Amino acid sequence: MTTLDKNAIASVRPFPPEFLWGAATACYQIEGAVTADGRGPSIWDTFSHTPGAVWNGDTGDIACNHYHRMDEDLDLLQRLGVGAYRFSVAWPRVQPSGQGPANMRGLDFYRRLIDGLRRRDIEPTLTLYHWDLPQPLEDAGGWCVRDTAERFADYVDIVARALGTDVEHWITLNEPWCSSWLGYGAGEHAPGVKDIGKAAAANHHLLYAHGLAVPILRSAVPGAKVGITLNLGDHQPGSMHELDQAAAKRADGNLNRLFLEPVFHGRYPEDMLEHYRDVSPGFSVMRDGDLEVISQPIDFLGVNYYFPSTVIDASRESEARLAGYYVSPDVQFPDLNLRSIETPGRGKTSMDWEIKASGLTSLLVRIRDDYTDLPIYITENGAAFDDYVDPDNRVLDHNRVAYLQEHISAMHDALDAGVNVQGYFVWSLLDNFEWAFGYSRRFGIVWVDFPTGNRLPKESFHWYCETIRSNSVVYARSVGAE
Ligand code: GCO
């Protein structure tokens, strides 16, 4: 049941007729069935089963049980009216040990998924790597060693040949920053390593893997559109102080420029190479010719945007506190010597992430100005809130509706500024396994009752339906009104 009052909706700011609306998920976060049909273990199986690594000891063992409830989820997508669905393929389903011949039963699951999408007139957008490295490859060095990139190339070849005829849009990697810096630097994600030198090496090998995948996809899938998805941020200095300006530049260097510069300009940013000069192995793993591989032309850029960031130099922390700012205690990378501060009055999601939709606009304009005019897809955007099912069996997630509406409007601002944005994928279709936060953070536009697996579309689902149907920014003034 929906409380969306269609008469009270003002739909303004139409999008171009061909604008693509979608929803996104990732395999380990929703599939469950971790031993079904020959799937091998991934680093996220190992990590989530490590005591203390994930909130509440949650694991992806069952997750949303999407593996066994796929048809129901496809029906939800159809009801939603999306033109595209972004999902990821689990490498350990395709190659249980990370190398060797294809496991046909694993591939079959994705073949059925793609067929189901096609039957419903929904375009598959396939992400090849959303963080679930086969564990045996991690045991052999993981992304810190070059061989993993070569193995990735073999895996891509298998998937492209098996599924290529029905998939046009391919995303090589999802958020390589998270895989490298959260996985090997901060240790907050699998494989849980805390070593900056290894994180830098992983950064390079992931990008190299991306580069190796591009020509493989092009030769196996004629007409393929190939891209990469990056999580990018809009880093602002907390003040005009030159130390804070330099801190913002370091944050931007680590999150944004270490990925955008090699992919689009064929080089690593000098200041970052200098910053990581003494870590081992760091960027010394780079070989002649790698940057050409990494920077070969792609067809689109996927951008994931969630929150803004305001940073100061670590030395100015007490000054900021005295001035009344909240300084985040979370110092992921001590070497970067910076602190995040909160801007008073800004709303926050239950991830404790600040909300600033205009950060998306400035990020998109900056990508266009500094890097590329290629089509951009917002491959993820969304928010976790403390949802609940009310006594009438509804989830009235007005805060999520507001968040999505503001960000879709901010994306429209970027279109108005001439940025080539061609699509938007909400994160996420379903409440799911939110990595180190387990099931404690709900990002879905569909509620999942984890003990039973039952699905319940939230208010935001109905609102997004209307957005897609009207192809415009929908201001649902009386959403939730009785
Ligand atoms: C991400 C991840 C998602 C997260 C989402 C919310 O790409 O960071 O792709 O898996 O669930 O970002 O944190």
Q: Report the distance separating Cα 69 and Cα 66, nearest Å.
A: 5
Q: Report the distance separating Cα 174 and Cα 86, nearest Å.
A: 11
Which CATH number goes with the domain that contains 266?
Answer: 3.20.20.80
Give the pTM: 0.96
Is the distance from the beta carbon of residue 29 to the nearest atom of ligand 1 less than 6 Å? yes
- pLDDT at residue 478, as a whole number: 46
Model confidence at 395: pLDDT above 90: yes
Ligand 1 atom, smallest distance to 26 CA: 10
Is residue 31 annotated as part of the catalytic site, yes or no?
no
Largest alpha-carbon pair distance within the chain?
65
pLDDT band, residue 209 (cuts 50/70/90): very high
**Which token pair is 225?**
């559109």
| Residue 433 lies inside a defined structural domain of this protein | yes
**Which token pair is 461?**
């689902």
CA of 52 to the centre of ligand 1 (A): 20
Model confidence at 170: pLDDT above 90: yes
| Residue 247 lies inside a defined structural domain of this protein | yes
The b/e string for 312-331 (b: 16+ C-beta within 10 A; e otherwise) is: bbeebbeebeeeebebeeee
| Residue 86 lies inside a defined structural domain of this protein | yes
Ligand 1 atom, smallest distance to 351 CA: 13
Model confidence at 78: pLDDT above 80: yes
- pLDDT at residue 7, as a whole number: 54
pLDDT band, residue 58 (cuts 50/70/90): very high
| Residue 398 lies inside a defined structural domain of this protein | yes
- pLDDT at residue 12, as a whole number: 82
- pLDDT at residue 481, as a whole number: 39
CA of 243 to the centre of ligand 1 (A): 31
Give the pLDDT mean for 417-443.
98
- pLDDT at residue 474, as a whole number: 86
> 460-475 pLDDT, tens per residue?
999 999 999 999 998 8
- Write the DSSP assignment of 280-333 as a string of letters: SSGGGG--TTHHHHHTS--SEEEEE----EEEEEGGGHHHHHHTT--B-S--S-
> 330-386 pLDDT, tens per residue?
899 999 999 999 999 999 999 999 999 999 999 999 999 999 999 999 999 999 999
Which residue among the candidates 31, 354, 380, 466 is catalytic per the annotation? Answer: 380
Encode 96-123 in three state secondary structure: CCCCCCCCHHHHHHHHHHHHHHHHCCCE
Give the pLDDT mean for 283-288.
98
Q: Which H or E element spans position 348? A: none
| Residue 319 lies inside a defined structural domain of this protein | no
Q: Report the distance separating Cα 291 and Cα 211, nearest Å.
A: 9
CA of 333 to the centre of ligand 1 (A): 20
Q: How many domains does the chain have?
A: 1
Give the pLDDT mean for 11-28.
94
Model confidence at 181: pLDDT above 80: yes
Average pLDDT score over the chain: 96
Question: Which range is least confidently modeled, 11-15, 292-296, 303-307, 336-340?
Answer: 11-15
> 218-263 pLDDT, tens per residue?
999 999 999 999 999 999 999 999 999 999 999 999 999 999 999 9
| Residue 318 lies inside a defined structural domain of this protein | no
Is the distance from the beta carbon of residue 436 to the nearest atom of ligand 1 less than 6 Å? no
Model confidence at 3: pLDDT above 60: no
| Residue 320 lies inside a defined structural domain of this protein | no
Per cent of the chain over pLDDT 90 is 95
pLDDT band, residue 4 (cuts 50/70/90): low
| Residues spanned by the domain of 374 | 11-303+345-475
- pLDDT at residue 11, as a whole number: 61
> 108-132 pLDDT, tens per residue?
999 999 999 999 999 999 999 999 9
Model confidence at 447: pLDDT above 60: yes
Q: Which H or E element spans position 125? A: strand 123-129
| Residue 215 lies inside a defined structural domain of this protein | yes
Q: How many CB atoms lie within 10 A of CB 362?
A: 17
Mutation choice for ligand 1 from 435, 441, 448, CB with most ligand atoms inside 8 A: 435
Is the distance from the beta carbon of residue 433 to the nearest atom of ligand 1 less than 6 Å? no
- pLDDT at residue 480, as a whole number: 44
CA of 261 to the centre of ligand 1 (A): 22
Is residue 270 annotated as part of the catalytic site, yes or no?
no
Per cent of the chain over pLDDT 70 is 96
Q: Report the distance separating Cα 335 and Cα 177, nearest Å.
A: 16
Model confidence at 482: pLDDT above 70: no
